[in-house]
Amino acid sequence: MNTSPPSNNTSTPQPHSIVTPMGTRRKFFKLVTGLSSVFIGMSLTVPLIGYVISPALKRRQATWMPVGKVKDLPVNEPKDLDYAVTIQDGYLETRQTKAVWTLKHQDGTVTVFSPICPHLGCGYRWDSQERKFRCPCHGSVYDIHGKVLGGPAPRPLDVLPSKIENGELLVIYKEFKSGLSTQVEL
Ligand code: FES
């Protein structure tokens, strides 16, 4: 008589026959751990790099600067004004003396021109006899409103942002690329 237990082909596999995807699981956890480390590292490093280099990447920043009292400007007669300006260039803060040409109108408003000729960057002058701006370098001529009358200038005189507060004329100093027909700020 056979007393041995009946054979069962569908019985639970013995431990030695279990195939576990341990290698795959280990690789998976390694990968997740590695990716997490990279992610955490990047999340800490990127803001730090941004903090360190962002001032250097920022555009040159200039602020509103007072250039003079509006009441002191002659009406319909261009006047050049010098003033000190603080320029923030990355980490570097410099104080420079700049000049602008101003034109006060009958209604009390003021137009402020960059003092740089848009042709190739020379300084121009106001010819009070002929009532024209003239650039000595290559002969560009502009009318009192900055419109080109002659010479190689590719565009009118550059107008700078300006406003009047408590009788004071405030200007943001900007520079533009020379030789272009359109204004491109530096
Ligand atoms: S720089 Fe003024 S005309 Fe050339």
CA distance 99 to 111: 14
Strand 65-69 with 79-89, pairing: unpaired
Pocket lining: 117 vs ligand 1, CB cutoff 6 Å: yes
**Rounded distance between C-alpha atoms, residue 6 and residue 12, angstroms:** 14
pLDDT of residue 134: 98
What is the whole-number distance in angstroms between the Cα of residue 152 and the centre of ligand 1? 7
For ligand 1, is residue 102 a contact (CB within 6 Å)? no
Torsion of CA 114, 101, 103, 82, to 10 degrees: 130
Q: What is the pLDDT of residue 63?
A: 84
Identity of residue 17: S
Ligand 1 pocket mutation pick from 113, 114, 116, 120 by most atoms within 8 angstroms of CB: 120
141 lines ligand 1 (CB under 6 A): no
pLDDT attached to residue 1: 46
CA 129 to ligand 1 centroid distance, Å: 20
Q: What are phi and psi of 155, to 5 degrees?
A: -155, 165
pLDDT confidence of residue 36: 75
Residue 46, pLDDT score: 57
pTM, to two decimals? 0.67
The Cα–Cα gap between 81 and 72 comes to 11
pLDDT at 15: 52
The list of the chain residues with pLDDT below 50 reads 1-11
